[in-house]
Structures are given as structure tokens and as C-alpha cells.
Structure 1
């Protein structure tokens, strides 16, 4: 096996990310928000789910600042996103570029999708457009027979060219079955081939009201029509798929009636028609260029440095989350460890030990006192005995029996006459008192 075929995990995830971003590109997705979070960085992280699956998403603050509502868990939303992969975990995810509530965004998204698809097929190409007849012999009108658009068209035709015949192909222009009925009316007009130009349209309304003119079946039926068709849907600001496919787009039903009718301003009409055709050419050209531009932007975005920055932002937010969780765990562990030490400290508290030692000291002091008292009694008893014994052999006791003790001037006891000299002073101690005398005579023997 060659070394270049051995992948590291990092290289594999990087290759898969590039594959997802380059091959899948931009996707539209509808789902329910869950696990929504908005850290201090300003980025959004959430999960989009349906009944059977879910996908993780990130929307960075450069994109989410354009969202007109605050997402909450449980919201159904439509998002435009770029498929990517978060390399550190190997999780594939969506990088959301726009978000809107499902009801408001779904129709617009379907409109853009169908427009791009039909433009790619070439249905908007100017080469497919039929020129309007310079002098139509009969005009067909496909609209509601009770709508204001019909009365506006008839009023203009009556004013400009009362002799021009009009054939009305009535149909509903709003509701669930309107698209099919409009397509059938166009088909009926082509099969009868009694008109040389058709006006298809209705008055103004919301995107939902005009939605039948954005159906693919209507677009393809208009494109297949052999009779030139003028699309006159809504007001001037309203644009539908039918406007792109039709041979000419009129800003209003009244303007469409002016295009098919001749009067003194025939040259102006011709100029208006050519200007309108030129507008259509530019509109188709711009649609094609926009499609190509979006494709180029998509390819460029895959290599844009901001995506790398966004991935770094996401890694930073995840690292912050892990750090916060680790700090909380560490604080919890340290708190538990501190409580355990406090418990052990309480069990080994110096106050408790001091109390125990004080109790032991009191016991020892009591025993010492008792021992000293016993010792004192014993010593007193021994002292008494010793005193009695001493008293028995004491010279004083001898003196009491009539004996005396003679000492010289130095206090030495005289036991022999040879110890004194004549003229020396001696002291004789008696039982009671003493006698000092001067030696006058010494007798030996």
C-alpha cells in the first residue's frame, strides 16, 4: 500500500469537509428548532429536526444579524445553508446563511428554485418568444370572469379599439385548483385557435394569492403555446414565473390591453412593445447571469477565509463550553474534597482533644492529690515514729532522769577531766536550765 493512500483522521475529515462543501453546495431545509443556544460570541448553535431525523447547525453572527425574529425551540423554520463538516468531532453540520419562518419562506424558496430550474432549461430564452401581431384580429383573455382585471381590460379595449373582438376564457385565478384551470384554459385557446394573442392574468395580491401563476404546469403550458401570450399578473411590482416565460410581460392588465389595441398612438405602442421585449431580454439575461453568479459565489464561498474563521469560532465556543464544564466539575470536586477535610478536621479538632486532655489532666491531678495525701499521711506517721524513737535516745530524755551534760566554751561535750583546765569556763546543761562555772579543781582517776 502506498503511503499517500494512508489517511490520518485529520486529513480524512478535511477531505470530507471539502467534498461536502464543493459537491453539495447550498441547500434549502425546513425543520423544527431544538437545542438552541447563543453564547457570548454572538453565534447561534441549534439542531433542526423532523419526526425521524435531526442535523446540527451553526449560524454565525455575520449571518444571524439579518434574521428578523428570535429563534426559540419548537419554531418551524426554512433555512438556506451550506453543508459542511466540523473536523474536530467528525460531525457533519449545516452552516446557515439565512433563516425565516417556514410559512413566509417556503413559497419564496419554491419560487427561486423553479425560476432557476426553468432558466437552466432555457425556457426564459428570448429565442423562444413569439412576436406580438401588429394588428391582432381577435384577443383572448384568460382570467376570472368576475375579477376587476377583466373589466379593466375590456374598458381599455373599448376605449382604444371598440371594433376589436374579445374572447374570454374564464378560469379561477386563486386557490388550490387555479393553476390547472389556467393551464387548461391556455390549452383550450390553442386548440380552438380563434385568437392571435392571449392575455393571461389577474389583479394584484400577496405572493400566496398570485401563487397559481408560479406553478410549473402554468409555466410549461405558456412556453408550449403557439399563440403569443402577454402575462399581466398583479401590479407592476409583482413578478411571477409566468412573467418570465410569457412572450411579453405587461405590468398590469390595463397595460396588456393597451399593448394589443391600436389607436393613434400606434407607434408608441410599437415602441412600448419593443421596450417591453428589451426588458424581457434583459430580465432573462440578468436571471441567467444571476444563476451563474450564484454558482460562482457558491464555489468561491467554499474557499472563503471566513469559513475557516467560522470553524475557528465554533471550536472556540466548544472549547469555552468544555472549559466551563471542566471548571464546574473541578469546583464540585474541590468542594467535596474540602467538605471531607472539614469533616476529618472536625473529628480531629484541637478543641475536642484539648477537652479530652483537660479531663485526663483533672483525673491525673485528682489522683496526684490523693497520692500526695496518702504519702503525707505515711510521712507524718513515719515522722511520729521517728520522733518517738529519737525521743527515746535523746539526751534531753537523759537529762530528765537527773543527768546533765557539760560542755566547754567551744560547745564540745566534756567526757573526761583531762579535757578542761583550771580557770576555764564550762557550761552544764540540766533538764531545766544550765549552769556556767569556772574550773577550780580537776580530779583525775
Structure 2
């Protein structure tokens, strides 16, 4: 078997990068900004994420100068970016070329996607356009019957040609139901076939207000109309898909009314409008050619020194950011080290140890005092109890109940008559004192 070629890591990353950039090229992406960094070089580095995934992005200063918003973490944005690979790390990343807020940006993206789709299907081609009749007797108007647009149209028609008949096909022109109303009104006008030309439009407003005229169902209803159609949506600067599909675009509803009631000058203006449409078609073709040229330039730019320089700048920015973080962390450690050493020194200082010993001695003294007090209290209670018990068996208590104790001159207790003789001196102790007496005689008990 032939020996297989073994790739170096740099060769692999280069091949993967070429595949990504040549196959995917430019993409639109909506996501939430996180880890945003504005480098000192002027470049931006960030991540775009949703609930499941995230991707690293870079936006170089030549492009981010044109951004009208101030990016910040947590912000939802819509970006146009080139899919690429950062070769030094082998990281998949996006090179952002355009950034805008997600709300209006998503609508514009939907508008562009549907526009491209309808354009590829041929709905904008000139050979599908019908000629606006030169002699018009009846004009149909698809719009809101209570809006300012219908009043402007009727006013202009009456002023320029009072003999014209006007038929209103009422429809909502704003909200979720509007697209169905407009499409149905166009269908109804074609089924009745009672007008020479059909005006479709409304007054000006925001992109959201005019969105019904960017819906596919409305564009296809206009394209399928057998009646000549004039799109008159918003102001002159407003452009909707209805304008591209209709047989003719009027900058305003009033201008549409002037077209259908045009005199010689207006017909000349119509020729100018046709020329403008031809110019627009040529411009579209030119843009497609430019797009193809841009793709070739992009592939060529991958080996351009400027591209290599941008990669080196990105790597330099990354190393600078890592160095700044390392220095900041080291400075923080050095800042807290003296405090740590001071705390250790204070803990080992004799004064601190003396204070600890004094606190310990005070604690032991309090324990000893408490123990002595408890012991003294216990001894007092025991002594009181013993005194009480002693009092119970004391002879004094017996004497207090009316008894007495007799002793001889030697203070010996006399317990029997045998302990005394007649004429002996004795002492009798009673409760409140001592009685000195002399024995006159003794007498035994009869029981003895």
C-alpha cells in the first residue's frame, strides 16, 4: 500500500479553514452577546450564544466603526459574518462584518430572504408586468376605508378627473389579519373584473406597520392579478415587496392617484418611472455580478498579507489580554501578602500570647471562683441539714418538752438512785436554767 501523507497540525487547520470559508462564506446569525472585550487595538472579541450553543466571534476595527449600537453582554443582536477558523488555536470562529439590534434586523433579514426567493422565482421580472391602461374609467382601491390613504386618493382623483369612478375594496392594512384581508380583496377585485386598474396601499409607518405588504401571500396575490396593479405603500422612502411585484410602484397613495389620472406631463413621468425600473433591474444584475466578484476576492484575500496581519493582531490581542489578567492576579496576591504576614506576626507576638494567657487565666479564675461558691453552698446546705438532724436528737430538745437532766457535783449524769446518797448535792437542768438541790432520800420504784 502506498504510504499515506501525514498532515502537520498547521496543515490540517489551514485545510479546515479553507473548507469553512469557501463552502459557508457569509451567514446571518442571531444570538446573545457574552464575554465581550474591546481590545486596545480597536478590535472586538465576543461570543454569540443561545440556550444550547455558543460560538466565538471577532470584529475588526474597520468594520466595528460602522456599528450604530453599543454592544454589551446580554444584548440580542443580528450579525452578518464570515465563517472561519483561528489557526493558532484551531478554534472555529466568525469574523463579523455587520452588526445591528435583533428586533428590526430580523425583520430586514426576513424581508431580504423572501425578496431573494421571489426574485429567483421571477416574480419581479419585467416581462410579467402589465401596461397601465391609458384610458381609465374606473379605479379600484385596496386599502382601509377609514385610513388617510383612501381620503388622499379620492381627493386627488376628484381634483384631476372628476369623471373617474372609484370602487373601494376594504381591507385591514396593519396587524396579523391584514395580509389575508389584502390578498382576499385583490382576489375579489379580479373576480368582479369591474375596474381598469387596481391601487394597493396605505399611508406611511414603521417597518412593522407596513409589514403586511411584505407578506408572501400578498405578493403572490398581486402577481396573480389579471388586473393591472399599482403599489402605493407608505412614503417615498418606504419599499415593500408589493412594490417589486406590482406592475407599477407609486411613491405614495396620492402619487398613485395622480398616475391613474395622469395628463401628458404625468405620462412623461411614467416613462421616467419605467426607465427607473429598468435602471433598478440593471442595478440588481450589477449587484449579483458584484457579489460573484466579492466571492472571488474573498478567496484571494485569504493569502493576502492583510489577512495574515489580522490573524497576528488577533493573537497579539489574546496574549495581551492573558498577560493583563496574569499581572492583575499577581498584583492582587502581592497586595494581600503583607496583610497576611502582618496577621501571622501579630499571632506570634509575645503581647498577643500574653493577652491569650491572661484571658485564659481570667477564665480559669472565674471557673475556680464558681467552683468554690458551688462547694461552699453545698457545705452550707450539708451543715444546715446536719444541724437540723442534731437538733432532732439533742437532749435540749427533750428538756424543752418538760424533761430535765440531773447531775452530781462531778457533772456526771445521774441515771439511777444508786448514783446518789442522802444529803448529796445535785444539779437539775431544766429548759430555762439549773436547780441546785440536796438529796433528802431515795425511793425505789414499786415495779422493782
Same fold (TM over 0.5): yes
- In structure 1, the residue corresponding to 2:164 is in which secondary structure? coil
Structure 2 CA distance for aligned equivalents of residues 193 and 2 of structure 1: 76
**For residue 192 of structure 2, what is the aligned residue in structure 1?**
192
Aligned to 2:265: 268
**Secondary structure, in 3 states, of the residue corresponding to 1:206?**
coil
Structure 1 pair 284–338 and aligned structure 2 pair: CA distance change class (3 A): same
Cα RMSD, aligned residues only: 2.8
After superposition, give the CA deviation of every residue in 1:248-306 in whole Å (9 maximum; x if it has no partner).
111111111111125xx2x2232222211221221232123223323432442343234
| Structure 1 residue aligned with 2:228 | 228
In 2: Cα distance, 1:148 partner to 1:338 partner: 77
Give the structure-1-normalised TM-score: 0.70
Q: Deviations over 1:383-417 (max 9, x none)?
A: xxxxxxxxxxxxxxxxxxxxxxxxxxxxxxxxxxx
Question: TM-score of the superposition, structure 2-length normalised?
Answer: 0.70
Is 1:98 equivalent to 2:98 in the alignment?
yes
In structure 2, the partner of 1:439 is none
Residues 99-119 of structure 1: per-residue CA shift (max 9 Å, x gap): 111123222222223223322
Please say which structure displays the higher CA radius of gyration. Answer: 1
* Cross-structure match for 1:280: 277
Q: Distance in 1 between matches of 2:169 and 2:20?
A: 50
Gaps (5+ residues) in structure 2? 340-448
Q: Secondary structure at the match of 2:239?
A: coil
Residue matched to 2:430: none
Partner of 1:289: 286
* C-alpha distance in 2 between matches for 1:302 and 1:150: 53
What's the CA shift for 1:53?
Answer: 1.1
Q: Which aligned pairs between 1:152-231 and structure 2 lie closer than 5 A?
A: 152-231=152-231
Deviation (angstroms), 1:69: 2.5
Could you say if the C-alpha distance between residues 142 and 329 of structure 1 is closer, same or farther in structure 2, counting changes exceeding 3 Å? Answer: closer
Residues 113 and 2 from structure 1, CA distance in 2 versus in 1: closer, same or farther, beyond 3 angstroms? farther
Question: 2:117 maps to which residue?
Answer: 117
Contact 1:25 1:83 in 2 (8 A): yes
Deviations 1:17-74 (A, max 9, x none): 1111121121111111111111211111111111111111111111111112221111
Asked if the contact 2:36/2:44 (under 8 Å) is kept, the reply is yes
Match of 2:19 in 1: 19
Aligned partners of 2:176, 2:329: CA distance in 1, in Å?
A: 58
Give the match for residue 349 of structure 1. Answer: none
Q: Number of paired residues?
A: 339
Q: State the distance in 2 between where 1:10 and 1:336 align.
A: 43
Distance 1:3 1:172, change over 3 A: farther
Q: CA deviation at 1:84?
A: 0.8
1:335 to 1:142, Cα distance in 2 relative to 1, 3 A: closer
Contact 2:47–2:55 (Cα < 8 Å) also in 1? yes
Task: Give the Cα–Cα distance (whole angstroms) in 2 for the partners of residues 189 and 170 of structure 1.
Answer: 11
Matched, 1:28 2:28: yes
**Unaligned 5+ residue runs, structure 1?**
340-445
CA contact (8 A) 2:36 2:47 kept: yes
SS in 2 for 1:303: helix
What is residue 315 of structure 1 aligned with on the other side? 315
Paired with 2:4 and 2:282, the residues of 1 have a C-alpha distance of 46
CA distance in 2, matches of 1:213, 1:286: 23
Query: What secondary structure, in the 3-state scheme, does the structure 1 residue paired with 2:109 have?
Result: helix
SS across alignment from 2:10 = helix
Change over 3 Å in CA distance of 1:260–1:337 after alignment to 2: closer
2:135 match:
135
